[in-house]
Amino acid sequence: MNTLEALQHRKSVRAFLEKEVEKEKIDTILSAASQAPSGANIQPWQVAVVSGDTKAKLQQQIESEFRTEKRGKADFQYYPQKWVNPYKLRRIECGVQLYSTLEIDRKDEQARLEQWVANYRSFDAPVMLLFFMDSSMETGSFLDYGMFLQSVMLAAVDIGLATCAQASLSDYPKIIKTVLGYPQDFTLLCGMALGYEDKEAVINSYRTPREAVSSFTRYFS
């Protein structure tokens, strides 16, 4: 599979097989992703690979906190505080596509809640990746990290694994850092589900649309 093919095949997967991911494959993915560029080669990424009993403990604590309506607070502001179009519309359409695929009615608040809670279990993927960065890093390192994350996802596609990048897993940084033993002053950027795709699952059957190149590109000569 070449890079163009991997870019086309990558998608957010939200249902996984109950199949262990081999450590060798995770190492291969992270080794490949470590070739991503970073300003002055600072390589700001720190990765936690969470599975088994530790994953069960972590997601149980997060889910418990969420269900008691003790909403967490991420280490940084991911989304805009005021949504404007076309971004607001794209966000709405993304949610509609998800719930429509699952045949969850807009008024079914309990079903929508349970689907959201699945985020905190990494959609029951066997592996949850969590991405940290030293708090001394500045905005440029967020750009570096984006290239690293995309590299992780493309490398996973190349060796037959699936992923879902998850901003939601940054909602409870205090719990995550405490359970995993990371310094509280580290920045938790996001998480990622990793595993083998359940290709029979309905939730994996749709793809979100992308804008045409002409809509976001201007040529100057």
Residue 142 three-state SS:
helix
Residue 89, in any domain of the structure: yes
Residue 36, in any domain of the structure: no
Among candidate residues 128, 141, 125, 123, the one with its CA nearest the CA of residue 190 = 128
Residue 96, in any domain of the structure: yes
- Mean pLDDT for the stretch of residues 21-48: 98
Confidence (pLDDT) at 202: 96
Residue 25, in any domain of the structure: no
> What is d(CA 62, CA 173) in angstroms, rounded to the nearest whole number?
10
End-to-end CA distance of the chain: 34
Between helix 52-67 and helix 173-180 the angle, nearest 10°, is 150
Confidence (pLDDT) at 183: 96
Residue 81, in any domain of the structure: yes
The domain that holds 78 is classified in CATH as 3.40.109.10
Residue 204, in any domain of the structure: yes
> What is d(CA 76, CA 78) in angstroms, rounded to the nearest whole number?
6
pLDDT tens-digit map of 197-215? 999 999 999 999 999 999 9
Residue 95, in any domain of the structure: yes
Residue 71 has pLDDT above 90, yes or no: no
- Mean pLDDT for the stretch of residues 187-199: 98
Residue 191, in any domain of the structure: yes
pTM exceeding the 0.85 threshold for the entire prediction: yes
pLDDT tens-digit map of 93-142? 999 999 999 999 988 999 998 999 999 999 999 999 999 999 999 999 99
> What is d(CA 104, CA 92) in angstroms, rounded to the nearest whole number?
15
Confidence (pLDDT) at 106: 86
The position carrying tokens 């850092």 is 177
Domain that holds residue 66: 3-12+51-124+137-208
When divided into structural domains, the chain yields a total of 1
Confidence (pLDDT) at 72: 85
Residue type (1 letter), 130: L
